[in-house]
Chain A
C-alpha cells in the first residue's frame, strides 16, 4: 500500500515537471535566446521593451455583481471558460473583429511594446497594432469623458511604481474572454513595477460600482521581457474573419450558414 502511494507520488511529480516544462516551452515560442532573469542590472524607471503576459483576467473570480452587472454578464455569451458556447452561437465582440478594448487586450496572449516618450508612455499591442497612450505630462483626467475602447489614461511615478489611472471606457468591450462586463463609469488603476530586468508586474484595480459591489483587485500580472521579439503585423480582418466564420467556424459549431 505504501509502495503504491509512493509510486503514485513519483508519477505525479514527473508529470508535473513535464507539464511545467512543456508549458514553459510553449510560452517561450518566439522568445528565442531568452537571457537569465535575475541579478541583471536594470533601471526600475525604464519600462521600455517588448513584453508578454500569460494572464487571462484580473483574477479567477470577480467580486459580486450588481443587478445591472449581472444582467450584462448574462447577456454576454463567451466562447472561453465555464460558460463557453460555440462561437457561432456566442456574441464575443472579437468574433467580428470588434476592438478588444482595455484591459482585455492585455490578456490576449500577444506581445506589447512599451515605449517611453517625454510626455507619454505608449503601449503598442501586436494584436491589431493597437496604440494606447498614457499621458505623463501632468494633465488631469477629463471629468465627463466620451467613452473610448481603450479609455483615457494618465500616469505618474510613485517611487519605483508607475501608477496609471484611466476613465471613459466603452462598455461594449468585455473585461476578459469570459464575458465579465464593465460600465462606462469604470475607473481603472494600474500599478507597474519592474521587478528585475526581465519581469514586469502589473496590479489592476477596477472600481465600477454600477457593475460590481466592491473594487476588483487583480492578481499580480506578470509580464516577461522578450528581448529578441518584434511587434508583428497582426490584424483581425473583418472580411477574412467572415470568410472563416462561413467556411469553418459556423459549420464546426453546428450552425448553418445563411
Chain B
C-alpha cells in the first residue's frame, strides 16, 4: 500500500517536471535550481521593464547590517501585457524603497539571483510570475 503510493508520488513529480515546456526560457533550466523554491526579504531598488526580460533589483540586509544586492529574472513585457499587466501597473507595484518578499529559484552558481516566482509586499499584495519556469501556481 505504502509502496504503491510512493510510486504514484514519484511518478507524479516526474510527470509534472516533464510537463513543463522545454522551451520555457532561454537557459533558465541550467542557470537556476528549479527544484528548490526560496524566499528572500528585502527592499525594492528598481524594477526594469525591458525587453526581452523584465527584472527586479532589491537589497537584502542581514542581521549585521550587511547589504547584499539581489536581482530577479522576470517575464518579458509582451507576456505581462498579454496577462493584463502594464508598465505603469508594474511600476506602481514595485516602488523603490518598498519592502518585498521575493520567491524564486536561486542561481545554481550561488549568486544572489533568482528566476522570479512571486513577490509579496508588506501590505499583503502579491504579484506572480505569468509563465515560464518560475511560475509556481
B89 at the A interface (CB under 8 A): no
Q: Which of A35-43, A67-75, A79-87, A112-120 touches B? A: A79-87
Q: Are A232 and B82 also in contact (CB < 8 A) when A7-B5, A247-B57 are?
A: yes
Min distance, Cβ A8 to any Cβ of chain B, angstroms: 5
Q: How far is the CA of A15 from the CA of B14 in the complex (A)?
A: 10
Those of B54-88 within 8 Å (CB) of chain A? 55, 57, 71-73, 76-78, 81-83
Min distance, Cβ A222 to any Cβ of chain B, angstroms: 15
Q: How many A-B residue pairs have CB under 8 A?
A: 144
A61 at the B interface (CB under 8 A): no
Interface size on B, as a range, is 35 or more
| Cβ contact within 8 Å between A19 and B16 | yes
- Of A8, A23, A94, the residue contacting B26 (CB under 8 A) is A94
- Of B15, B21, B26, the residue contacting A26 (CB under 8 A) is B21
- One digit per residue, 1 when the CB lies within 8 angstroms of any chain A CB and 0 when it does not, for chain B 17-39 equals 00101110011011110000000
Those of A104-126 within 8 Å (CB) of chain B? 107, 109-110, 126
Q: Give the interface of A toward B (CB within 8 A).
A: 3-5, 7-8, 11-12, 15-16, 19, 22-23, 26, 29-30, 54, 56, 79-81, 84-87, 90, 92, 94-95, 97, 107, 109-110, 126, 177, 232-237, 240-241, 243-244, 247-249, 251-254
